[in-house]
């Protein structure tokens, strides 16, 4: 396994070069430490096939994520399918609004943050979770593998989930973080 500890264009170039030089055809596998949907689209599934990455969200994971992707595309027809960052913003805003509603409309920062940490998270994109005292959003992560082009069910269908990492295994334990908010 070759782990690519880079991001953006550097990652895209490294994956492209690995495909061009036959590294992956020779049996070597790639893991993108910072790699997502947009990277596969830029490369093409053929160049990226077999690469593994970890993500909290994939638009084609289940009925709820597909419904969100459909709404996202309707609102942004010239853009890509939603990635984990866009899904994260959506889920965070939903949780923020839930906290404000629970506070009777109060938008005081300290109160909203405390309420967000108090209330469990539950949204159609990341499912049930929590926000720890240190501010870490706890939810499962997924080991994703880039499909071969012929395995895709349609445009933007690049990944298959091969393993679910439970939240308590996906993130560093609270006690090991050294965050002053956790004291």
Q: C-alpha distances in angstroms, 79 versus 73, 110, 138, 142, 160? A: 7, 35, 28, 24, 22
* pLDDT value of residue 72: 94
- pLDDT digit string (tens) for 104-122? 999 999 999 999 999 999 9
pLDDT digits (tens, 9 = 90+) for 129-158: 999 999 999 999 999 999 999 999 988 999
User: Dihedrals φ, ψ of 143, to 5°?
Assistant: -85, 115
**What domains appear along the chain, each with residue ranges and CATH number?**
2-182 (3.40.50)
- In this structure, what are the phi and psi dihedrals at residue 6, rounded to the nearest 5 degrees? -145, -175
Give the Cα separation of 154 and 47 in Å (integer).
17
Please tell me the pTM assigned to this model.
0.90
**d(C-alpha 95, C-alpha 156), whole Å:** 28
Tell me the percentage of the chain whose pLDDT exceeds 70. 100
Q: Got the DSSP string for 82-96?
A: --HHHHHHHHHHHHH
DSSP 79: S
């Amino acid at each position: 396994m070759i782990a690519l500890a880079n991001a953006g264009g550097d990652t895209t170039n490294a994956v492209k070069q690995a495909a061009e030089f036959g590294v992956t055809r020779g049996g070597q596998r790639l893991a993108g430490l910072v790699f997502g949907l947009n990277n596969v689209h830029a490369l093409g599934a053929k160049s990226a096939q077999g690469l593994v990455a970890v993500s909290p969200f994939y638009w084609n994971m289940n009925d709820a994520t597909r419904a969100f992707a459909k709404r996202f595309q309707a609102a942004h027809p010239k853009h890509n399918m939603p990635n984990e960052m866009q899904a994260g913003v959506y889920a965070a805003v939903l949780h923020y609004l839930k906290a404000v509603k629970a506070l009777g409309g109060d938008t005081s920062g300290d109160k909203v943050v405390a309420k967000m940490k108090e209330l469990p998270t539950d949204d159609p994109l990341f499912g049930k979770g929590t926000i720890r005292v240190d501010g870490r959003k706890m939810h499962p992560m997924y080991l994703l593998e880039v499909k071969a082009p012929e395995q895709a069910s349609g445009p933007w269908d690049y990944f298959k989930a091969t393993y679910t990492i439970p939240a308590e295994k996906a993130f560093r334990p609270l006690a090991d973080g050294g965050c002053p908010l956790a004291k």
